[in-house]
Structure 1
Amino acid sequence: MGFNKLLERQIKKYLPEDYILQENLARFIQAVHDSYEEYERDKKLFNHAFACSENEYMHINEKLKKEAKLKHASIQQLKETINKFKGTNAFYNDTDDLSDVINYLEHELQEKKKADDLLQQSEKRLRMALSTIDDNVWEYNFTTRTMTFAINEKSILDLNANVFEGKENMIWWSTILEEDRHIAIETFRQYMSGEITRHCVEYRVKLKDGKTKWILNRGGVISKTKNGKPLTIIGTLTDIQNFKNTQNELTATANRLSHLLINLQTGVLLEDEDGKVVLTNKKFTDFFAYPGSPETLVGIECTELYESSAQCFKYPDEFLSNTATYLKERKPVNNEELKMADGRVLERNYIPLFIDDIYRGHLWTYNDITERKRSEIKLKKQEEKYRSIIANMNLGLIEVDLEEKIRYVNQSFCLMSGYEEHEIIGKHAADLFVKDEYKEIIDEKNSLRQKGLSDAYEMNVKTKHSDANWWLVCGAPLYNDKQQHIGSIGIHLDITQQKILERQLMEAKQIAEKSVHAKDLFLANMSHEIRTPMNAILGMSKQLQKTTLNQQQQSFLEIVGTAAENLLVIINDILDFSKLEAGKVTLEEIGFNMHDLITNTSRVLKLKAEEKGLIFQVSVAPEVNKVLKGDPFRINQVLINLLSNSIKFTKRGRVTLQCQIKKNQPEAQELEIIISDTGKGMDEAYLKNLFNKFSQEDESIARSYGGTGLGMSIVKQLVELMNGSITVKSKKGEGTQVNILLSFAKGTDTDLPKKDNSNVEAHILTDKKILLVEDNEMNRVVAETILNQYGATISEAVNGVEAVDAIRNNKYDIVLMDIQMPVMDGLEATRIIRKEIQSNIPIIALTANAVKGEMEKCIQAGMNDYLSKPFEEEDLIRLIAKWLGRETHFAPPKTTTVNDTPLYDLEKLKQITRGDEKFIAKMLQVFINETMTGVANLDQAFEEKNIKQVKFVAHRMKSSLNNLNIFTAARIAEQIEKAEWTEPEYPILANQIHAFKQIIEEVIPLIKSNYTELQS
């Protein structure tokens, strides 16, 4: 009989009328019944204690505690009820069944307490076990649809148990990534349908910090309902993120390796331990002409491949035999060469694969080395060929090992060294040939060979019979067939004779350099010695021009000035050529206007051309950029030289200059300058020597036309220095054409140099004391004459010692210092003034030495500025005024121009008259009267064909024209005077007189206007 049936019978027996008590006891009986069933279930759970999680034990333990309390209370209540009943019911007996029930219940309660104690002990053991593992234990109850987590201190999932504790499984599913959530849902469905009782799945979950992690979820059913449905599942969550990372890396690596093997230019065959194909590639199937793709070979027996491919080899039996041996011995085999039946050569490697000392298969690799073998054979033949050549040539060959012991020499080396082959083989090379001072060098060379480097070097060596030999050594590392470094190889050339020649050449070079230095010194001295008297000649000539002279005196003075200027041109040509030869000419890079440059250059030479009755034409293409960047001074020098030649060698006809664009680019222009004439021309043979120094077609040219023969050589070198080119076309008797190509960068107005248009005041040096240090008396006279006119007080010193003493004892405002002087030169004197006297007085160098570098020497010595002799008066005064801080800017003297060319000016007349305006007016009136009379006499004489009178009148008028700087008319007058006019040339003379009259007719009204102003 069941326990509940027993209670019901006893209650009805003893309490037939007390319905309230019956109802209470019935409830108690049901509670005891339920407790009993739970107790039975708990015993089953206890049997699974060690399979449950820590949370589950804690849950069961709490339930048991509650049930024990409830049962204890029920028994107490039952006892009280029975005792109460015993007091009211006379029919109750202690021996009745109800007492037995109570005793039974008390007995069961005691058993339950024992089970609780045992459960608590198991719980402690389980807690200790769970505290040592990293997995997270969970439990799911199908009845309540809740999950419970046991997350210990070593939790690796960083899950927040409070979020999921006692919640439905939907909350847990929300932590699973959406794309993996179907895995958990499907697992739950299978449990519910009874398809599974255990599971093991992987999916990704979101952690508290927002990151994701792969977990392994394993579990199973631990209790079911009476109808077999799952009641409780218990399981674990394991962190498998590292495993997944490793798995992904291994998969990627395996894919890469597989891809690499498949695409290798090496044939690959991978077999497993059972001799079946695991992997192969396209190259392998190509080598042996297997049909189909490499994938079709996977899984077949490799012995079939060996046998089917054996016929591809030249020696098939040897191939099969070697293959079987390798498979049996399972030892690596490298670089086995296999000759194929079609002439190819394959290289095979066998690599056995062992994992944990267990054989897991092997790998075959095949490489086609046919071309390499052919190259090796070819190389071997070439090596034998070159060894044969080296053995018989004049280059000594030696091979040494890593210990520098000689292993091979050729016959040429034996001859160079003086040793027989048997005398040096096996000997230490350095001990035999290297001198002590070269030991360290040889050690360095050996270190280079160890690094695989080659080089060449010269060395003074000792041979068997001499220690004065020189060898050129080309050393290189030496390798064997396996590319292993085994020593060094050296090729030796005896350069003893070359070293002797080199030493002689060095000595000759030193002599040449001394000679060049001597030449430079000579040129510097020549420049100084010639320029010193030239300075006096030109200076005094200009001072003399300021005085009142008659026509004959004026003529003589002009001849002196012209001769001096020509001599100066010759000196400058020689100096320019010397600087060009020495490479000491440097170019400016400044802005200039090509239109203005050519116009100004032609303006100087146009007068000479017109004097000879030549047509002189100049044109510049309008497209030429307004501002170009280059050296306008050198361009001017080239143009003047070429135009002067054209005018000089042309008796009649024309001289033209054209400047046109050859190439026009955004940042630069290439210009072509064409200078042509109708002169005497040159023979074709002479054109080849045109640019040679001191070259003239014949001696009569120098006598007839003058010149040094340096001009064209200088022109060519200057053009090439400007990265240009020059060509000349000429034909005897038909004229000459010169073409120059020059490229210039385009510039802007800001690149143009600023012009100094200042005009120095007449008495600017008044009350200024100037010390003039000059050993040449003529130069002192010239300088003193010029400076006195501007109000300066002059003191003189003839050498550097006197200059130093003068500055120690007196106060000066400025010093004009010559450079080359006896006793003490100007540079040394300047150094003493700066260092010992510590004077800051301005010092200007006045030197006749015009060679490059002179100015730098002056500045380094402490001088402030530099002026070369012969100098222009204005340049000297302006330079002094600059350092005295007395520059005064006036408007330039009034001049009148026609077509932008000054027709006249009164500067020279003002200098002669010392600025006396009344006298100037008188002189202008005299000039007007005499000039008008002269023009009339010139016309009359030409009409009478009195050429002698024509020349005389032109001569008389020339001087007065020069005094007013009417240069155009003066030069025409000079040409009329000096030319030998014959009757056929009368038309040319008529043109000259007509041009002369036109200029006079233009200038006389202007002079009259100026005369009227002076009178008023």
Structure 2
Amino acid sequence: MLKVSEYFDNYFARGKINKFTLAVFVYLLIVLLNIIDYVTEGKLIFTLFYVIIAIFVTRYLNIANAIVISVLASISTAYIDITILNEDLFSPYYYFNLLTRLIVYFIVIYLTHTVQKRESSLEEKIKIRTLDLEEEIRQRKFKESLLIESEEKYRNLLTNQPIALLRMNISTNKVDFANQEFLRQSGYDATEYDNLKDEDYINMIYPDDRERLFNFYKEWATSGFRENSNISYRIINRYGKILWLNTYLYVDRDKNGNPSFINQLCIDVSDQKLNEENLFKSKERYESFIKNSNEGIYRIEFDDPIDISLPKEEIIKQFFFTGYIAECNNIFAKTYGFKLADEIVGIQVSRLMGDSLNDENYKTLNNFIENNYIASNEITEEYDKNWRKIYISNNSAGVIKDGKLLRVWGIQQNITELRESQDKIRILSWAVEQSPDAIVIMDTQFNIQYSNPKFSEISGYSNSEVINKKPFIMLLNESPKELREEIVNTLNSDNIWTGEYLNRTKDGENYWEFAIIAPIKNEKNQTTNYVYIKRNISERKRFEEELIESRLKAEDANKIKSEFIANMSHEIRTPMNGILGMIQLLEMTSLDEEQKDLIETVKYSSDLLLRIINDILDFSKLEFGNVKLSYEPFYLREFGKNLYGMFEIAAKNKNLAFEVIYNSDFNYQIKGDTYRLNQILINLIGNSIKFTNEGFIKLYILEKNKTAKKVSIEFIVVDTGIGIPSEKFEILFDSFTQLENTYTKKYTGTGLGLAIVKKLTDLMKGNISIKSEVGKGSEFCVKIDFEISQ
């Protein structure tokens, strides 16, 4: 059936029969079949034929034609049936026969048309898919041809490109692909690679890079070749040539994600490395030259290149205000007070030149321009970061291109010290020339090489008479031979000779001179010259003789005075003791109140006079050195207790607090003169009580610096008295001195107390110091070293 259908399809497709002819033929065939069916009484069989015909009609005619033919055939066959059966045209049988036939035809047509539609849709899809497959096959063939062409093109490209490519099979450790550049780099043919051994690959790596490269591969392999990577190293190819390679590596993985191939892209960077090395060496030499130079090296750039066709004044302004330090070495930076070059880079030229385009700076820049932008040993005044003036010797040259000043390179030397030294030498020269002392420079043979004007004035010899003509030793005309030998021996021993001697001028006049003769040494500590400085001291000699004579006379007068005072004090003290004795006897008699007051006044005045006499006697003894210390062992605690007992009542009478404070238990004895130590502290404590109206007096006895044999003791007397002005400290310990102020004038005294304290302290090899503030009080500290009694 399918073949019949395909035949008709092809038949109609070739256009051998049209559809109208087919419709007439089908109609007549149905009528004929209907007659045959009736005659043969084979209704069922021929009904099947009707269905088949209806299917063909529906398939090969459109649905409208099929319906028309079906209706006509139904009417015709129905009519034939009723004619043969002699039925009425419009009888029920006719309508039933007609309706039955129509229903059968329409059902067949509907079903056939539905199937036809589905077949048509399927056929259309098959046709479209067939066309798609044909197009896909055509595209695939086209792409395959392009792919083959592309693969060939890229294979040629990879084979001949200047980047070396190597593809290694990880599982077999064999070369899968290597291009011509890789073969050129290594020096091996493609066929030779598979025969290379591990040691051949190792030997191909430059020895210094092997360990680094092996560690790199090991780390990369350990990571599972997860990241693309790269490394630079050297190889030694087959011909012994060393190549630098920048190698980039990545892996291809199989469908399971396991590494299968290692791809290497190796770029020969030997020339680049050589250039870098040469550039590095050049830069290193350049930086080394700048860094290690003993002179300051610098480069000045400008905000914008300066057009040298501009007026000179404009060029100078732009140079001064837009120029800045772009590069320099540390020596240059240190010249301006900076430690490192980085600290000065970027600083304006104007700042270094004092921020002022003054006449001096204008002249410097003008000379640079006038000399075709070259400066040779140009001396400039500039300023460091602390605004200290410095002097610079400059050598510089401008870089000019296309009529514009681009930059300035320069080498400079800080000559500040040289200029200052020159100034010092000049000042020293003036000082020597104008010195009030005669100054002579001699060589090591004592030949005079220089003398100043004062020498000629003192000696009477002119420069022309002595320089390089007369040895110094011949000028010591009146000096004994022994003195000359002493001077020469001292100088030959590289020592300084100082002394006085009698000399004679050229005119024969004698005079005394004081001289200092010293060696002059060079940087190697070698004596190259001697300097001889002398002064005419004849006047001073005469004055000294007069002074000695006056001092002797004064000493004799002072001795007579002291002896008189001592004798008088002794003579006065004898009757005073008698007076005091008689006063004590009078006090024992019956006296009225007035008589008691008179006796008390006489007793107080007599005690005061006796104390004054004792002070004078003690001071006289100290002044003449007649006081001898008596060292005996004693305990400081006991000593302090006695002092407290002496002043306790006096302090209470003035409502003053008095205490003795220790910083140690002092359970050991020291050796000292307790009488003289008492005398020191009695004077100090007595003065504190005398000049303190309220507050306290404290005596500190402090142990300091104790050793096994010695101990230092500080006796500190502190009060809240009237205080002492600081400007009076210097005269405080002078003899017969009392401070003059409105308060101290109310108190009597000889002014010898503190003088005696100072002399006794000195006698004990101690020292005394004072701290005081007017209106707040005073603090006296006596420090004495004692021997510990064993």
TM-score, with length taken from structure 1: 0.31
Structure of greater Rg: 2
Highest RCO, 1 vs 2 (Cα 8 Å, sep ≥ 6): 1
